[in-house]
Amino acid sequence: MADDKTTLDKAPEASQGHIPTVIADELHIVYRVNGAKTGKGSATSALSRILRRGEERGVRKVHAVRGVSFTAYRGEAIGLIGSNGSGKSTLLRAIAGLLPAEKGKVYTDGQPSLLGVNAALMNDLTGERNVILGGLAMGMSREQIKERYEEIVDFSGINEKGDFITLPMRTYSSGMAARLRFSIAAAKDHDVLMIDEALATGDRKFQKRSEARIRELRKEAGTVFLVSHNNKSIRDTCDRVLWLERGELRMDGPTDEVIKEYEKFTGK
């Protein structure tokens, strides 16, 4: 703590930007896929793989993130860009501590969280119960959920066309379901917030509303990571960009510089 103080005294105006919140140190992430070994997927080949001695039989490894290092500071909004399958979402999950690292480490201040709750919701339950279930899954208390329930339902606009919140989610149109999911996910405040692309779903009106909500969340959060293929939204929101390609960190710097290089690379 003493160290902190002297740092703050020396550079009072820049102190905000100098407190690291996320440090990735030579991070490697490897996925293991069962039964996807190259070649035929027949029973006999599976059997021969089992009989053949090896380190891990019948398992194919996908090296999704290869030795990525960076330090993120408080108050930064960091964009992650790169072509499909370059490891952006995987990197986010590793930062959140949801995917175990093969090698290297991620250090974080508090618990970073992904904006998204889809996996916890059940289509057979009513919207009402999904709001509660999703809130609990994100770690909110019952009181917090009760407090925000109206807010969530109003924001989603589910009830604009009748009492839909008491119907099972499988009866919703895909747009309605997406709106409810976003509304639940965006109901919680986060320290380190990570947003994966394509969150602003639904009709034009809802897109505007959700973009505004993301801006609000960003203001409250200490550090924000944004994965997107939309260079414009990265330019609008981020002051620093990490460019990933084939799991490697190709470039890390101010938004304009990196995006310029990226656009050159993608031939745009």
Partner 1 sequence: MTASPSTPPPDDGLSRAELAAKYGLTVSGARPGLFEYVRQLWGRRHFIIAFSQAKLTAQYSQAKLGQLWQVATPLLNALVYFLIFGLILEADRGFEREVYIPFLVTGVFVFTFTQSSVMAGVRSISGNLGLVRALHFPRASLPVSFSLQQLQQLLFSMIVLFVITIGFGSYPKLSWLLIVPVLVLQFLFNTGLAMIMARLGSKTPDLAQLMPFVMRTWMYASGVMFSIPVMLQDKPAWIADVLQWNPAAIYMDLMRYALIDGYGEKYLPMGQWAWAIAAGWAVLLAAGGFVYFWKAEERYGRG
How far, in Å, CA of 38 to CA of 59, rounded?
10
Residue range at the interface with partner 1 (CB under 8 A); choices 31-39, 150-158, 211-219, 226-234: 31-39
Residue 202 falls in which region: left (phi positive, over 0), alpha (psi -120 to 50) or beta: left
Residue range at the interface with partner 1 (CB under 8 A); choices 37-45, 114-122, 159-167, 173-181: 114-122
Q: Site mask, partner 1, residues 49-88, x = CB under 8 A? A: --------------------xxx-x---------------
Number of neighbouring beta carbons within 10 Å of residue 183? 27
Residue range at the interface with partner 1 (CB under 8 A); choices 79-87, 150-158, 222-230, 243-251: 243-251
Minimum distance, C-beta of residue 38 to partner 1, in the bound complex (Å): 19
How far, in Å, CA of 230 to CA of 167, rounded?
35
259 binds partner 1 (CB under 8 A): no
Q: Cβ-count burial of 18 within 10 angstroms (0-12 exposed, 13-18 middle, 19+ buried)?
A: middle
Please, what sign has the CA dihedral across residues 241, 245, 246, 252? negative
260 binds partner 1 (CB under 8 A): no
Residue range at the interface with partner 1 (CB under 8 A); choices 113-121, 146-154, 157-165, 220-228: 113-121
240 binds partner 1 (CB under 8 A): yes
Q: Which of 12, 39, 54, 100 binds partner 1 (CB under 8 A)?
A: 100
**Which CB, 96 or 176, lies closer to partner 1?**
96
Please, what sign has the CA dihedral across residues 207, 182, 108, 8? positive
Q: Which of 16, 85, 101, 191 binds partner 1 (CB under 8 A)?
A: 101
**Which CB, 211 or 248, lies closer to partner 1?**
248
Minimum distance, C-beta of residue 183 to partner 1, in the bound complex (Å): 16
Helix (H, G, I), strand (E, B) or coil at 49: helix
Cβ atoms of 24 and 70 closer than 8 Å: yes
Minimum distance, C-beta of residue 86 to partner 1, in the bound complex (Å): 14
41 binds partner 1 (CB under 8 A): no
**Which CB, 87 or 112, lies closer to partner 1?**
112
Residue range at the interface with partner 1 (CB under 8 A); choices 8-16, 152-160, 174-182, 210-218: 8-16
Q: Which two tokens stand for residue 84?
A: 């499909």
Q: Which of residues 178-237 bind partner 1 (CB under 8 A)?
A: none
Q: Cβ-count burial of 243 within 10 angstroms (0-12 exposed, 13-18 middle, 19+ buried)?
A: buried
Q: Site mask, partner 1, residues 128-167, x = CB under 8 A? A: -x--xx--xxxx-xx-------------------------
Cβ atoms of 131 and 177 closer than 8 Å: no
Q: Which of 105, 205, 215, 260 binds partner 1 (CB under 8 A)?
A: 105
How far, in Å, CA of 190 to CA of 218, rounded?
9
How far, in Å, CA of 191 to CA of 92, rounded?
15
